Amino acid sequence: MKNCFLILMALFVGGRIHAAESPEKPMTSVAKPVTQVVAHRGFWKTAGSAQNSLSSLRNAQELGVYGSEFDVWLTKDDVLVVNHDAKIGKTIIEEATFAEMAAVLLSNGEKLPTLESYLKIGAKNKKTRLVFELKPHKSKERERRAAALSVALVEKHKLSGQVEYISFSLHACKEFRRLVPSAQVYYLGGDLPPAEIKRHGLTGIDYKMGVLRKNPKWIDEARELGLKINVWTVNKPADMRYFIGCGVDFITTDEPGKLCAMIDAKK
Ligand code: MG
């Protein structure tokens, strides 16, 4: 009887040891999300629209995309305006007053939008998120000012939950994170691995497609770290298919209608 007890104990202990020594189950990879569409500079490839115009935002809202991206600069006299390039004609936005640009018309005849006019349109449709790119400014001081004024305007229009911040400036990203700890903030630069983005406390990477093609492991690494992944600017069907297959969270595109159709067809 005593022997039987010892044999059972030995089997039990041995089993425990065996269980402890057995290799861990392979880490289950984090589930791939359904890719969402971000319209790059709005949905402007439509009759009568233009990049970064109010109509491009309205078009994106009507299409029902996840987000509409736009670019923001701060003028010398502290007015935030929506435009991609640093210059309009020969005028450098950062070095001009808003009054000096008041007569500027976009290619479709719309006025140069202020950020405030843009946010007012954004507020009319809560479903389309506003993907707010702050351009890198000439000094950290101006960038800090631009970030602070941006956040204040977003809060004034009660859009904190609808705006996501992106920037090529890591400094600007960190400013947004500091000012709004709960905000979604993505870095555009493409030069930092996901672990570094995690270390800075950002939401995710928003990288050029060539960067992610060259570093495909960054997609899995980002996902394992709980970071989100956006990729730009993906316009060709073959590239769209590739990144949908990778399971990126967002694709930023000049062809939001075509990308929506492709994603819908896969559902
Ligand atoms: Mg942009």
Q: How far is the CA of 8 from the centre of ligand 1 (A)?
A: 68
Q: Write the secondary structure of 72-131 as one string of H (helix), E (strand) and C (coil).
A: EEECCCCCEEECCCCEECCEEHHHCCHHHHCCCECCCCCECCEHHHHHHHHHCCCCCEEE
Whole-Å CA distances, 139 to 87, 94, 136, 144, 192: 17, 10, 8, 9, 22
Q: Which segments within 195-254 are labelled E, that is strand?
A: 204-208, 228-232, 250-253
| pLDDT digits (tens), the chain, 267 positions | 444 444 444 444 444 433 343 444 344 467 888 999 999 999 999 999 999 999 999 999 999 999 999 999 999 999 999 999 999 999 999 999 999 998 899 999 999 999 999 999 999 999 999 999 999 999 999 999 999 999 999 999 999 999 999 999 999 999 999 999 999 999 999 999 999 999 999 999 999 999 999 999 999 999 999 999 999 999 999 999 999 999 999 999 999 999 999 999 987
pLDDT at position 39 is 98
d(CA 61, CA 264): 17
- How much distance in Å is there from the Cα of 23 to the middle of ligand 1? 46
Q: What is the CA(71)–ligand 1 centre distance, in A? A: 5
Whole-number pLDDT of residue 30 = 77
Query: What is the CA(42)–ligand 1 centre distance, in A?
Result: 10
Q: Ligand 1 mean position to 5 CA, how many Å?
A: 73
Fold of domain 35-266? TIM Barrel (3.20.20)
How much distance in Å is there from the Cα of 111 to the middle of ligand 1?
19
